[in-house]
Amino acid sequence: MPSYQTPFWRFSIFRYISAGAILFVVLTTTAMFFYTGGTFYDHNTTGYSFFINFFSDLGTTHSWSGDTNYISASLFFIAMILAGLSVLLFSLAFPQYFSRTDGGYVSAKCGMYLGTITGIYFMGVALVPGNISPQLHAHFGDWSFRFFSLAALFWTIAIFRNNKYSNKYAWIFIVFFLLLISFVLLVIFGPKFGESNFGNTILATAQKIIVYASVISILLQSLCALAINRKH
C-alpha cells in the first residue's frame, strides 16, 4: 500500500496528475489538426469535425478517408495513456483522506478499485485503435465510463461521510456522475452507431463532452487535494 505521509503522495502525485490532465487536452486538440479526413458517412470530408467525427477517430492508423493517420494517432495514443495513468494514480492517491476510523473509508476503497479499472480501460482505448479491432476498442471505451460513473458515486459518498474532506468538493463528483450516467444511458438506449448521420452526431458530440469532463473533473479534484494538503 502507498505510504501516504510521504511528500510524493501528498503533493507530487497530484501535480503529476494535473499535468497529465492538461497535456491530454493539449495533445488531443493538436491531434484534431492532424487528422487526415473523412467521417463514417462521408469519406471525402477534409480534416476533423468536432461534432461529426468520433473521438476515437483521432487514434485510427488510417482515417475514414483511407489516408494514413500516424501523427494524429500517435498524439491520441500518448494522450490516452496519460489520461489512464492520471485516473489510475488519482484512484490510488485519493484514499489517503479516509482512514479506517473515519467515515467513508469503505466507499473510498470501492472508488479506488473502480477508478483503477477505469484507468486501465482508458489505456486499453489507446492500445487498441478503432480501425484495428472495433469491438474490443468499443468495449474498452463503453465500460471505462461505466466503471468511472460508479467510482465517482462511491467517492461522492465517501466525501459526504467524512468530516475531514470538505463536502463542497463532492459537488464536482456529483456533476460528473450525472454527466457520466447520462452518457451511459444514451449509449445503451439512445441512437446506435451507424444508424443515422444525426444519431452519430449526437453520440460523437456527447462522447467528447464526457471525455473532457472526465479529465477536467480529475484535474479539479487534484487541485482540491493539493489545497487541502497545503493547509495541513
Per-residue pLDDT for 208 more than 90? yes
pLDDT digits (tens, 9 = 90+) for 16-68: 999 999 999 999 999 999 999 999 999 999 999 999 999 999 999 999 999 99
Mean pLDDT of all residues belonging to the chain: 93
Q: What is the reported pLDDT for 1?
A: 61
Q: Which pTM was predicted?
A: 0.93
Per-residue pLDDT for 148 more than 70? yes
pLDDT digits (tens, 9 = 90+) for 78-137: 999 999 999 999 999 999 988 887 778 999 999 999 999 999 999 999 999 999 999 999
Per-residue pLDDT for 5 more than 80? no
DSSP string, the chain: ---TTSHIIIIIHHHHHHHHHHHHHHHHHHHHHH-----SS-TT--S--TTTS-GGGGG-SB-TTSSB-HHHHHHHHHHHHHHHHHHHHHHHHGGGG--TTSTTHHHHHHHHHHHHHHHHHHHHHHHS-TTT-HHHHHHHHHHHHHHHHHHHHHHHHHHHT-SSS-GGGHHHHHHHHHHHHHHHHHHHHSPPTTS-HHHHHHHHHHHHHHHHHHHHHHHHHHHHHHHHHHH-
The residue extents of the domains of the chain are 7-231
